[in-house]
């Protein structure tokens, strides 16, 4: 499945503009990490980011998401690496252990991308001047974007920095901010 097909599927299944923005933001972050870790597979990484939550509106319960989406994508012949990355972003529900760089990057980008978008929405200039230190400060405020799992972000950062030892938490946050700057937040 290419990006154009993935975007069409996302638009078919996802009506919420905010959810679409989230999925586009995660896809942008995934593209950033694919360029560093697996440049030949960048499109697949972006597809994983774009479709990781495509079934959430139709199947939001813990028992169904993302299992229903993965099953649907499998019937369409989507590559197993993409299916596994989507399984891995919800490993507590799917039982899948994140193994590959794509798996770990998707988990590392998912919650953080949502949090960065929330940070941008409360700033007068949006993402334009947002920096990692501001995001880290907001992460400490448990009342801000309370639905975002700080624990998942911490675990994901640890997994990603184990994969890329030279990467710091601040760099990961900044990488995602820079990737998301190209995503229209509407």
Task: Find out if CATH 3.40.50 is the number for domain 3-180.
Answer: no
User: What was the pLDDT predicted at 186?
Assistant: 61
Report yes or no: 50 and 26 within 8 Å, Cβ to Cβ.
yes
Record the pTM: 0.95
* Mean confidence (pLDDT) of the chain: 95
Cα-based angle 46, 48, 50 (whole degrees, multiple of 5): 65
Which residue in 55, 81, 79 sits closest to 68, CA to CA?
A: 55
Of the pLDDT bands very low, low, confident and very high (cuts 50, 70, 90), residue 182 is confident
Cα-based angle 110, 28, 2 (whole degrees, multiple of 5): 105
Mean pLDDT for 94-117 is: 95
User: What was the pLDDT predicted at 94?
Assistant: 85
User: What was the pLDDT predicted at 95?
Assistant: 86
Mean pLDDT for 137-160 is: 95
State the Cα–Cα distance between residues 136 and 128, nearest whole angstrom.
17
Of the pLDDT bands very low, low, confident and very high (cuts 50, 70, 90), residue 12 is very high
- To the nearest 10°, report the CA torsion of 152, 157, 163, 165: -160
User: What was the pLDDT predicted at 16?
Assistant: 96
């Amino acid at each position: 499945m290419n990006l154009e097909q993935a975007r069409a599927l996302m638009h078919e299944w996802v009506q919420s503009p905010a959810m679409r923005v989230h999925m586009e933001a995660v896809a942008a972050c995934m593209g950033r990490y694919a360029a560093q870790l697996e440049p030949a597979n960048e499109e697949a990484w972006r597809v994983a980011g774009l479709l990781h939550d495509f079934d959430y509106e139709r199947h939001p319960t813990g028992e169904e998401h993302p299992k229903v989406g993965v099953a649907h994508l499998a019937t369409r012949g989507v590559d197993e690496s993409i299916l596994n990355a989507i399984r891995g972003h919800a490993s507590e529900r799917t039982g899948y252990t994140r193994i590959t760089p794509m798996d770990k990057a998707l988990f590392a980008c998912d919650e953080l991308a949502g949090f960065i978008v929330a940070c941008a929405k409360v700033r007068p200039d949006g993402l334009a001047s947002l920096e990692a230190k501001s995001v880290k400060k907001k992460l400490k405020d448990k009342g801000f974007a309370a639905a975002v799992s700080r624990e998942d972000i911490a675990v994901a950062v640890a997994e990603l920095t184990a994969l890329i030892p030279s990467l710091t938490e601040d760099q990961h946050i900044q990488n995602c901010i820079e990737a998301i700057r190209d995503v229209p937040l509407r």
